[in-house]
Structure 1
Amino acid sequence: MFTFDQATLDGTGAFLIGELERLDQTLNMPLVGYTWSRDIQLREDVSIADDISSFTNSSFAAAGSPNPNGKNWIGKNSTAIAGVNLDIAKTGFPLTLWGMELGWTVVELAAAAQVGRPVDTQKFDGMLLKWNMDTDEQVYIGDSQLNVNGLFNYAGASITNAVATWANSTNQQILDSINTLLSNAWAASGYTLVPRDLRLPPKAFGLLAQRIVSDAGNQSLLTYLQMNTIAYHQNGVPLNIYAVKWLEGAGVGGTDRMVAYTNDKKYIRFPMVPLQNVPIQYRGIYQLTTYYGKLGAVESPYPETLAYLDGI
């Protein structure tokens, strides 16, 4: 019969092992995935002392002459020459302090070190996991408590509805829906930029990978779409298509959402102050340290370069 020291098992992982028991020494962390670092670039000029991250948008107005809607023609003897009017608007988002305290007793530390499962390292890994999970959510959908949005629900982005779900669509209809989304963002930007990145719910991503383009079966629809949309022909690079779990049910009415954008710091970024910690404090037999950083909210000086398609 195996005997376990339950109090120590819950705390440091130092427990009794039977003679015929073979314990796998691998430390298995919780099965969690996060992709925020792949899908957005950081704004790194913010510091722990900042409370708000902000940016400005400049607007210009210029009347033509002699036709206000025309070009700026002037005569050789003109004395009244039109100028340019400038308006600079500022947009700000909160930088919110994030923190977590790690602590253990010297007894736990010694017991865990003796069995080769250091409790301080494990708690640090757990804290990093929570930091990345919170950052993942903050980047993609924001935080309702702080009243900030993320990459997948940003205010100002265009939202349209799919004609039909992809499960009930042909390959051509799926291609048309993607090109429609890219065209909407292209038109909203004044035909300045076609999005270079496409994010899909996992089910839709799996559907593209499963379907073949033709009866020859030599190419999946996913591979075909990377090279056969207006994004590739305009930008000269394949369309970056990836799956993100946060897009399931992210659309209006709980529908699945597809997102087109350009992963470039000029168009969209995420302010973050990396984690740092205070020196270890000793309280009796306890050792304590606090890690802290700041998470902002997704910023897009050009929200017209974002586009959403719901109901796929």
Structure 2
Amino acid sequence: MLTFDQATVDGTGAFLVGELERLDQELNMPLVGYTWSRDIQLREDVSIADDISSFTNSTFAAPGTPNPNGKNWIGKDSTAIAGPMVDIAKTGFPLTLWGMELGWTVVELAAAAKVGRPIDTQKYDAMQLKWNMDTDEQVYRGDNQLNVQGLTNYVGAALTNAVKSWATSTPDEIRASINKVLSDAWAATGYTLVPRDLLLPPEQFGLLSSIIVSSAGNQSLLSYLRENTIAYHQNGVPLNIRAVKWLKGAGVGGTDRMVAYTNDKKYVRFPMVPLLSVPVQYRGIYQLTTYYGKLGAVESPYPETMAYVDGI
């Protein structure tokens, strides 16, 4: 006897429903989270025709007179006057083409539409989900195959180890470790910029949320730290503390890592060409369309503005 059950037709979302079966019509998508759009700004001047995104860093040198290490004093009758020297270096990262093809038959399309679960829409949602998942990993971890880094492992950022884990630390010791990573980045910039953002692994973020520091029991350590670090007193805005799943095990030896940086396009950004599509193509009873875009690599003209701490 020929039967059509879930194993043969569920690819289009059409199922056999019995008399005493109540099927919930809501579509339950995969449970996936991504936060890349929250933690970094896009560099939007790149196009689909570009193969590389690049930027320059200028280095200045200005010897003093008469002391090369002093100020530029000159006399009223000076004829040999020093001038500044400029060197411009370029840094480039690949813009890599990303693409997926969506396809279905007109029979599948008609069947799925009849039961209220259009397969073309679901495949588009699946493609968007994969795009965001790939982007999320590219932003935070980079890509080993392309040999590019992300926000959590950028070459040039200062790296130190925590004195001890936060699970065994007092609230004052946790606050001191945060102030230290902020101070390290501040010192690396010649005391120009204190990081405004702090990224933590989920467990450490939850720990800050659970520790109560107020005698009245109405303020968590997380709330307290937003306005009681050098970041708030130097920048005038609360420290932006957020949880990122990619930081769990991101440190050396699989330890958890903390990232201090400033979410500003001037200091760190991510080149991206948003998804484009080609017109639907018809091949027999098949309908096909391709979506494509380009993902770059995290750029930081000023890597000294970032600092990492492992072993928290």
Query: Any unmatched runs of 5+ in structure 2?
Result: none
Residue 266 of structure 2 corresponds to residue 266 of structure 1: yes
Residues of 1 paired with 2:98 and 2:111: CA distance?
Answer: 31
Conserved? CA contact 1:252–1:310, under 8 Å: yes
- SS of the equivalent of 2:260 reads strand
Cα deviation for residue 5 of structure 1 reads 4.4
- Cα displacement string for residues 65-88 of structure 1 (whole angstroms, at most 9, x for unaligned residues): 011100001111110000011000
2:302 is aligned with 1:302: yes
Q: TM-score, normalised by structure 2?
A: 0.98
Q: 3-state SS of the aligned residue for 1:16?
A: coil
1:94-109 equivalences under 5 Å are 94-109=94-109
Aligned to 1:7: 8
8 Å Cα contact 1:249/1:257 also seen in 2: yes
Task: Give the partner amino acid of 1:38.
Answer: R
Contact 1:4-1:17 within 8 A present in 2 as well = no
SS in structure 1 of the partner of residue 103 of structure 2: strand
Q: CA deviation at 1:218?
A: 1.8
Identity over aligned pairs, percent: 81
Q: CA deviation at 1:3?
A: 7.5
Between the aligned partners of 2:216 and 2:173, the Cα distance in structure 1 is 20
Contact 1:278–1:289 (8 Å) recurs in 2: yes
Structure 2: how far apart are the matches of 1:16 and 1:165? 54
SS in 2 for 1:264: coil
CA RMSD of superposed structures (Å):
1.0
Equivalent pairs counted in the alignment come to 310
User: Is 1:286 the equivalent of 2:286?
Assistant: yes
- Structure 1 residue ranges (4+ consecutive) displaced by more than 4 angstroms after TM superposition: none
Look up the match of 1:182: 182
Which amino acid is 2:75 matched to?
G
Which residue type is aligned with residue 27 of structure 1?
Answer: L
Q: Does 1:25 align with 2:25?
A: yes
2:60 is the alignment partner of 1:57: no
- 1:130-209 correspondence to structure 2 within 5 Å: 130-209=130-209
SS of 2:173's equivalent? Answer: helix
In the TM superposition, what whole-angstrom CA distance separates every residue of 1:249-303 from its partner, at most 9, and x where no partner exists?
1011111000000000000000000001100000110000000000000000000
Letter in 2 for 1:251: G
Distance 1:217 1:120 in 2: 52
Q: Aligned residue for 2:228?
A: 228
Matched, 1:80 2:77: no
- TM-superposed CA distance for 1:214, in Å, is 3.7
For 2:68, the equivalent position in structure 1 comes to 68
Alignment partners' CA distance in 1, 2:134 and 2:124: 15
* Secondary structure of residue in 2 paired with 1:290: strand
Superposition pairs of residues 31-46 of structure 1, within 5 angstroms: 31-46=31-46
